[in-house]
Structure 1
Amino acid sequence: MKRNRGAALLLVLLLVSLLSVVVVEFLRESRLEARTAANLRDALQAHALLRSGIAVGSALLREDARDNQVDHRGEPWADVIPPVPLGDGVLAVAVHDLYGRFPLAAVLNDRGEPLASRAEALRRLLEAAAPSDADPEALAEALLDWIDANTDGMYEENPDYTVPNRPLLDLDELRRIEGFTPEVVAAVAPHLDVRADPKVNVNTASVPVLQALHPDLGPDRAQELYDDLTETPLERATDLKNRSAMAGLAITRLVFEVVVESPRFRVDLAADVRGVNRTAQAVLERNRDEDRVRVVSWREE
């Protein structure tokens, strides 16, 4: 009888131990599912914040278009917008004028061949913007081989990627081009755009872009022009010739058409909801005549 009671006790203890393991595992799984659900909820809220950021950027650009016909670095859309608390999250929005950047596809003619003056302008930009240990000549050749229609260039044999021989679809493609290390891309990408429209808004152009615009401008004059345009933006593109940095330079040697208004912008967005972070980039096109801003591309990470 005592033996039966002892065996029963052992069986009870074993069952209690097994039940404890099951309960502990159930609680662990419950907590994991709760965290997963919370992260999913926060990720959805972060996505919603990013989409609301597009509305903010669009509203700024539409309001600006109604107010004036000139775009420059001193306008409200160009201001650094501090992170804004919204509900349980925080949203950061930054708007960039893409017409203040170098138009990469405009380097090519209708047959996909590099135009000599614009290819030289690309070299000047890379020399001004790339890290000091980079070779701007080699970078320019590799980039031109990537985008031009010619299949016989020095950099056509890329060991990792097929050279497409067409204009870039996105600046992320730069990372696939020989010589464009992460450091080089980080340095030069803020001065580039993939568009084919050969116009540049000098009011929002960086020093490397200004330097690329004219073969005789040089770094010192480009910096002088940048400072001048920051202080007093052009109201009319034709007035560029009257700025002191342009003294003695032939306006006819500008490699791109100078403008003072822009139809294409990029919005960088960052959202944080209880530690769940999401970022996005959107390209917006603005039509002043129709009072309309539309999203032409969206990438979320």
Structure 2
Amino acid sequence: MTHILHRFLHKSADERGAALVTILLLVAIMSVGAAVAFERLGFSIKRATAVKTHDQARLYALGGEAMALAAAEQLYRTNAKLLALAGGNKGQVVSYPLDGGQIDGALSDASNCFNINSLVAVQNTVHIADQAAMQRFVRLGAALGLSDFEAEKLAASLTDWLDSDSRPLPSGAEDYDYAALSPAYRAANGLMADISELRLVRGFTPEVRAFLAPYLCVRATAEPIKLNANTLRVSDAPLLVALVGKGLDLEDAQRAIAERPTGGYADNAAFWRHRAFAGLTLDQNIRARVGVKPQAFDAKISVSYHDARVELTSTLALGDDGSADVIARRFGVIY
């Protein structure tokens, strides 16, 4: 009897020990689960806070864009030469403190560039190569130091990318050329929406893009851009050479810009009267492509807000009445 009781008590102790181990194991599992749950909760809170911070920074950037629109209209309407008088090459730079950060903005004239989309003309919704524009592009490349052959190849490839047909121009590139690449793709056969698309066009290597980028831009239409005589920089002289063509060398173009009157040119007729153009017979269409008012502005806005940073670049187009509209918007680094 004693032996049976001993076995019973011993068995009960074993069961109690097993139950204790089981409880301890459950507590450990629950503790780990709770730790993981709290960690996930903390991560979710941080993520939600970061998203909210980024959204607020983005809204501040859009607010900066709205201020840039108002500033662009003010510059156009009150004093068309304000950029030239106020160091227009650097543009208008402003900074505003925020509760938790700062917003910085720069507004500069974006009129002085070669519109890539102007390489084609629109006829009944069809884009066809504009030979005169192609020649202007070739002259631009030559003024920058490219050989005529290289500039012609770039102009042809770029025009083929934009025109509506699939027939390659001499030295150009169409679907067949891009289909042989890996990965393969097709020519757009339409206007560019952003200058970053240049990376897809044959011949526009990173080196070529970096070389030409300061002189190129993309607008929503195929219309050539009217240069602003009052904000042209000496380094922009190749754009003037490309426009005028034969008879104007780079040195004369630089002189016309460098010798701009202190108060700027009153009108384009005053600009064309500069001695650099003496003896040149200029078509009225060429003369009309230089003005003394900005046609577009670039607004570069940077927002630092707590741990978020937002970069916004907007292109603002100006109508004949001075009204400004956003025609392109690109958000940059956000981290």
Q: TM-score, normalised by structure 1?
A: 0.83
Answer yes or no: is the 8 Å Cα contact 1:103–1:196 preserved in 2.
Answer: yes
1:168 corresponding residue in structure 2: 192
The correspondence for 1:292, drawn from 298, 323, 327, is 323
Does the residue aligned with 1:251 lie in a helix, a strand or coil? Answer: coil
| 1:148-187 superposed matches below 5 A | 148-153=163-168, 154-156=172-174, 157=176, 158-159=178-179, 160-187=184-211
Deviation at 1:128, TM superposition (A): 4.4
Answer yes or no: is the 8 Å Cα contact 2:103–2:304 preserved in 1.
Answer: yes
Does the residue aligned with 1:295 lie in a helix, a strand or coil? Answer: strand
Answer yes or no: is the 8 Å Cα contact 2:227–2:290 preserved in 1.
Answer: yes
Between 1:187-196 and 1:168-177, the stretch displaced more is 187-196
1:122 corresponding residue in structure 2: 137
1:283 aligns with 2:315: yes
2:4 corresponding residue in structure 1: none
Compared CA separation, residues 180 and 52, structure 1 to 2 (3 A) = same
Answer yes or no: is the 8 Å Cα contact 2:301–2:311 preserved in 1.
Answer: yes
What percentage of residue pairs aligned between the two structures are identical? 26
Does the residue aligned with 2:283 lie in a helix, a strand or coil? Answer: helix
Deviation at 1:80, TM superposition (A): 4.9
Answer yes or no: is the 8 Å Cα contact 1:281–1:299 preserved in 2.
Answer: yes
Does the residue aligned with 1:180 lie in a helix, a strand or coil? Answer: coil
Compared CA separation, residues 119 and 72, structure 1 to 2 (3 A) = farther
1:268 corresponding residue in structure 2: 300
Q: Distance in 2 between matches of 1:34 and 1:13?
A: 31
Answer yes or no: is the 8 Å Cα contact 2:60–2:303 preserved in 1.
Answer: yes
Between 1:105-114 and 1:256-265, the stretch displaced more is 105-114
2:241 corresponding residue in structure 1: 211
The correspondence for 1:56, drawn from 64, 67, 80, is 67
Answer yes or no: is the 8 Å Cα contact 1:240–1:246 preserved in 2.
Answer: no
Q: Distance in 2 between matches of 1:18 and 1:174?
A: 57
Give aligned pairs, total: 299
Paired AA for residue 59 in structure 1 = A
2:290 corresponding residue in structure 1: 258
1:192 aligns with 2:224: no
Q: TM-score, normalised by structure 2?
A: 0.76
1:28 corresponding residue in structure 2: 39
Deviation at 1:46, TM superposition (A): 1.2
| 1:28-177 superposed matches below 5 A | 28-70=39-81, 72-75=83-86, 79-81=91-93, 83-111=95-123, 112-128=127-143, 135-153=150-168, 154-156=172-174, 157=176, 158-159=178-179, 160-177=184-201
Compared CA separation, residues 144 and 44, structure 1 to 2 (3 A) = same
Answer yes or no: is the 8 Å Cα contact 1:271–1:277 preserved in 2.
Answer: yes
Deviation at 1:129, TM superposition (A): 5.1
1:4 aligns with 2:10: no
Q: Distance in 2 between matches of 1:43 and 1:155?
A: 42
1:15 corresponding residue in structure 2: 26
Compared CA separation, residues 11 and 166, structure 1 to 2 (3 A) = closer
Deviation at 1:284, TM superposition (A): 2.2
Answer yes or no: is the 8 Å Cα contact 2:144–2:238 preserved in 1.
Answer: yes
Does the residue aligned with 2:230 lie in a helix, a strand or coil? Answer: coil
Does the residue aligned with 2:265 lie in a helix, a strand or coil? Answer: coil
Paired AA for residue 40 in structure 2 = E
Please give the root-mean-square deviation of Cα atoms over the aligned residues, in Å. 3.1
Between 1:3-12 and 1:140-149, the stretch displaced more is 3-12
Between 1:45-54 and 1:83-92, the stretch displaced more is 83-92
Compared CA separation, residues 12 and 108, structure 1 to 2 (3 A) = closer
Answer yes or no: is the 8 Å Cα contact 1:155–1:178 preserved in 2.
Answer: yes
Q: Distance in 2 between matches of 1:130 and 1:42?
A: 47
Deviation at 1:236, TM superposition (A): 0.9
Answer yes or no: is the 8 Å Cα contact 2:142–2:151 preserved in 1.
Answer: yes
Deviation at 1:238, TM superposition (A): 0.7
The higher radius of gyration belongs to: 2
Does the residue aligned with 2:259 lie in a helix, a strand or coil? Answer: helix
Compared CA separation, residues 110 and 31, structure 1 to 2 (3 A) = closer
Answer yes or no: is the 8 Å Cα contact 1:102–1:191 preserved in 2.
Answer: yes
Q: Distance in 1 between matches of 2:118 and 2:112?
A: 14
Between 1:38-47 and 1:96-105, the stretch displaced more is 96-105
Answer yes or no: is the 8 Å Cα contact 1:130–1:136 preserved in 2.
Answer: no
Does the residue aligned with 1:296 lie in a helix, a strand or coil? Answer: strand
5+ residue gaps, structure 1, are none
Deviation at 1:288, TM superposition (A): 5.6
Does the residue aligned with 2:255 lie in a helix, a strand or coil? Answer: helix
